[in-house]
Amino acid sequence: MILKHLVDTQDYSKTELLDIIHLIRRIKEADRQGCTPKLLEGASLAMLFEEPSTRTRISFEVAMTELGGHSLYLKPGEIHLGARESLYDTARVIARYVDCIMARTLKHDTVVKLAQWSTVPVINGLTDFNHPTQVICDVVTMLEHAPAGKKMEDFHVTYIGDSTNLASSLMMICTQMGMHFTFGGPAKYQPPAEWRKVCEDNCKVSGGTFRVTDDPVEAVKDADFIYTDLWWWVGQEDQIPERRAAFMPKYQVNMDLFRKAPAHCKFMHCLPASRNVEATDEVMDSPNSVIFDQAENRLHTEKGLLVYFIYPNLKRPSSELQAYHKGEIEAFLEKKLF
């Protein structure tokens, strides 16, 4: 059995990530022609959610269905994630029922421990630290909207805003893939030293670059892609006045700031968004916005990830073996029940 988990993109090499991305793009091409292969027929996915989601739940559930498998949505209150049952027992039990576990948890350590103890692949659907499925999707989207004449290693990606769990994942995968990444935000909300070190170490290997600035105009001047996210999240509601004052209006992605970037620059946002807060409607709905392409690509990304992690471990019995067991069971039923 080949047991791999997706907890963090940093656990994979650039070559392995490119393999996943190429698989996603091949499956998307098949999807567009109505030829999605039923590669996961008979497989089951457990989807564990400690907080609600739109894109993550729908994309994984539809992906599993279209690949021929089945998904189970387990929301808060329906499963014991360390409450009344240890995480160890939960991981070991669920792994006996399904072929893969996708978990969206409040604490990163929960996913780490699920992966440590599960005997089937675990996919991180978002934690308080990172969001690997989203940023793999983002690289797919960037490649689809690559500026003319540029390869991936030429991309300049600028993130404007707060150092969120999305920002951590984005800066790490971009530097890992050899891109040029700029973080623009107020000093208090810039990425911590340990995140920066990961990115700097990535650049030494990949040839990418990484920089942090509090000047948004400087940050976007060479951008091929400008990305932003929410300025506050669950549990930060009491900080909203302080955060709004720190980011508005200097770090809002509005047309005035967007026009400081090259004309071909694309706008990205993982959604959900607070419209006219971190970005204006004018930018989000502009011809240069690819936010809905991003959202769609979550579906194709989840298909690729599910195939990559589940398919190698599926049992593929011969037609003769299937016929043998069918015959044995039918013979038993005929003898005992009829």
What positions carry a catalytic annotation?
104, 131, 134, 229, 270, 298
Q: C-alpha angle 54/56/58, rounded to 5°?
A: 65
Bridge partners, 45 (sequence order) = 71, 100
Long-range contacts, stretch 178-181, CB < 8 angstroms, 24+ apart: 178/14, 178/152, 178/153, 178/206, 178/207, 178/208, 179/152, 179/153, 179/155, 179/208, 180/154, 180/155, 180/156, 180/208, 180/209, 180/222, 181/157, 181/208, 181/209, 181/210, 181/211
Mention every residue, 6+ apart, whose C-beta is less than 8 A from residue 63.
299, 302, 303, 306
Note whether 80 and 61 are within 8 A (CB).
Answer: no
Q: How many CB atoms lie within 10 A of CB 138?
A: 26
What amino acid is encoded at 215 in this protein? Answer: D
Cα separation, 171 vs 181, in Å, equals 6
Length of the chain: 338
> CA distances (Å), 231 to each of 167, 288, 334, 336, in order?
11, 22, 65, 66
Cα separation, 167 vs 210, in Å, equals 13
Q: Which of 32, 18, 14 is nearest to 206 (CA)?
A: 14
Residue 107 φ/ψ, nearest 5 degrees: -115, 135
Q: Which of 231, 233, 130, 219 is nearest to 172 (CA)?
A: 130
Cα separation, 182 vs 156, in Å, equals 8
- Residue in the structure block whose two tokens are 């001047």: 221
